[in-house]
Amino acid sequence: MQREESFDSFYQATRRALLLQTFLLTGDLTAAQSAVKDAYVAAWHLWRKVGPLDDREGWVRARAWQLAQRRHAGRIWHRNKGITDDDRRILDALAKLPTAQRRAVLLILLAGVPAPAAARELGLTQDVAQRNLTAGVASLAEALDVPAEAVRVRLLQLIGAASSVTLPRAPLIRRQGQKRRQGHTVAAAMVAVAVAIGAGAVAYEPGGRQVTADGNLRMLRPQPVTERTSKVAELPTADNMLDKDQIRRLGRSQEWEVLRTHANTAGDGINTICQQQRYADPDGLAAIVREFETTTGKSDRAATQTVEISESVKAAKRGYRTTLGWYAGCRLARLQLLDAYRVDNIGAEANVLMVRVWEKPVTTYSVGVARIGAVVTTTVARSVGADPPPAEEITQSLADSVSMLCARSGSEGCAKRPAYSVVPPPPSGEEPAMIAVADLPPVGRINDPWVGIDATSGTPNPAATSCDRANFGKTGARETRSRTFLIPQAKLPARFGLSETYGRFRDEKAARKFLSGVRSSVSNCEDRDLATSVVSSNTYQRNGADRSVYALRTEISDKESIRFRVGFVRIGRTVAQLTFVSAPKYDVTPDRFEALTVRAGDRLRELDLVDDDG
């Protein structure tokens, strides 16, 4: 079984990249599809010899390229209705390259094979292989009217067209391999390697004219390959994205399909909810986007995976934080950030956020973000009118993404069995340590968004009620902040809204004393104010937080009353108060308000992080 698993893992990790490379070599998608399939069939039959090779991908590639070139039927992409005009332009530019240059570009720039290994595979000296790459990149850049460093991104654009064909699953490849005669397979493999090596040294144009490497260089006026172009040659490819089988973790009871794969260069570049700009790292080297949806079942599920590659680890860290901030600070109507998880044992850092849009049908988004060195991968799964996938499947899917990217970089052990834990959400980008618009629950059937007013000093305290009479400043708080949230577009009473105030005390003892005082004041409220009653109360300590939640009602006439929901939460030496004033038919449930009080405590922990850093 270990032998089968080894082949299946290799096949899954390399097949789509090889299909794209072979397609670009010939421009014949049908020939590329059959050649790639047959190359893997041969690899499985000889797996006892191919499996231990240091470069088994090179072994399969050499065979696939040789088979595809033997089978292809000229520039047939001009008759393919699935190819866009822009794709045709790229294929035309590739077809005009001498074969030696085209192979060098595809092997070094697209496949990311290091120059010494590529030279050996092409049967050239490293100097000649590098000059062929330089000339090919220069020629493509001129034909496509792009800078040299953008050539690889343009080649990756053909991922979408290549994804229109499917390759058999690994078990079928193995079954076909077992049926082949060993002698035939060995002979074919030897021929494939010999032809691939020979074809790299001397290239032949379609018209039969022999063109040497030096002749090509003189004709094309080569430009030097820049440091940035060298970096691009090492980037992950579309083969390092999740496929339709792996994405099933996000909806196991259904079948999935790949809708399209692209470099996110067309349209507005917004592919997922809450995304604020085309790229989290606008200065990155490249990006790949793959979109999925289910084809069976009653529920509507879809997913989008994005991979962005930055120039440095520092830039990728910024892109990672930017991506998390899009969802932690999202301000769409009736959207709420439910949960946040930290995921350990995969990549350098990883998080999962659960976001819900309460508009019917209720839609939940699971957002997994991970960084591996200078690469950030994000998968956003959408579940409409259905339960989202469980946390363990979401985190395992994120681990799958990291594993694919690690395989491309040659790293090992950076995607182990994931372990996740509930954590406070990432900073929202709004007022630090205070709840954000994304934290707020929906109110009745109001479809307009919450709006947060700029935070001010917490004196006077806009969250105070006649029951608690909380005055942070007069009771020793050294720092206070307040913020109020409204829904200004909705026709609601002027008193409707939510306010939060927090105060930081000199030490935890002073914070405890303040909280004890406001609790006592609320408990005695009915004795002081006969018009006000405490409808319910709940006090508890959990996960290092001390919380109290109250429901209050004040009678202002025989026919009218005002309802308040008040929450206090203490984290260390900081106490926050939340007060929500409802309106008839426009309230939040007790459970949702209590959850909001928990979130207020989570946000307060951002102050502890500042203390730790400071």
Whether the predicted pLDDT of 409 surpasses 90? no
What predicted TM-score, i.e. pTM, was given to this entire model?
Answer: 0.63
Whether the predicted pLDDT of 216 surpasses 70? no
pLDDT at 1 (0 to 100): 53
449-475 pLDDT, tens digit each: 899 998 998 888 999 998 999 999 899
Whether the predicted pLDDT of 215 surpasses 60? no
pLDDT at 308 (0 to 100): 92
108-142 pLDDT, tens digit each: 988 888 888 888 888 888 888 899 999 999 999 99
Cis peptide preceding 460, ω within 30 of 0: yes
Whether residue 132 contacts residue 124, with contact meaning beta carbons closer than 8 Å, is answered with yes
Whether residue 95 contacts residue 26, with contact meaning beta carbons closer than 8 Å, is answered with no
315-368 pLDDT, tens digit each: 999 999 999 999 999 989 899 999 999 999 888 999 999 999 998 899 999 999
CA–CA distance from 198 to each of 65, 192, 567 (Å)? 13, 10, 77
Q: pLDDT band for position 412 (50/70/90)?
A: low
pLDDT at 173 (0 to 100): 87
Whether residue 450 contacts residue 437, with contact meaning beta carbons closer than 8 Å, is answered with yes
Whether residue 387 contacts residue 370, with contact meaning beta carbons closer than 8 Å, is answered with no
Longest dimension (CA), the chain: 103
Average pLDDT, the chain: 83
361-398 pLDDT, tens digit each: 999 999 999 999 889 999 999 999 888 999 999 999 99
Exposure class string for 20-41: b at 16+ Cβ within 10 A, else e = bbbbbbbbbbbbbbbbbbbbbb
Walk me through the domains of the chain, giving residue ranges and CATH numbers: 2-232 (no CATH), 238-422 (3.40.1000.70), 437-613 (3.40.1000)
Q: pLDDT band for position 192 (50/70/90)?
A: very low
Whether the predicted pLDDT of 484 surpasses 90? yes
In angstroms, rounded to a whole number, what is the distance separating the alpha carbons of residues 400 and 188? 34
Average pLDDT, stretch 517-541? 90
In angstroms, rounded to a whole number, what is the distance separating the alpha carbons of residues 526 and 539? 18
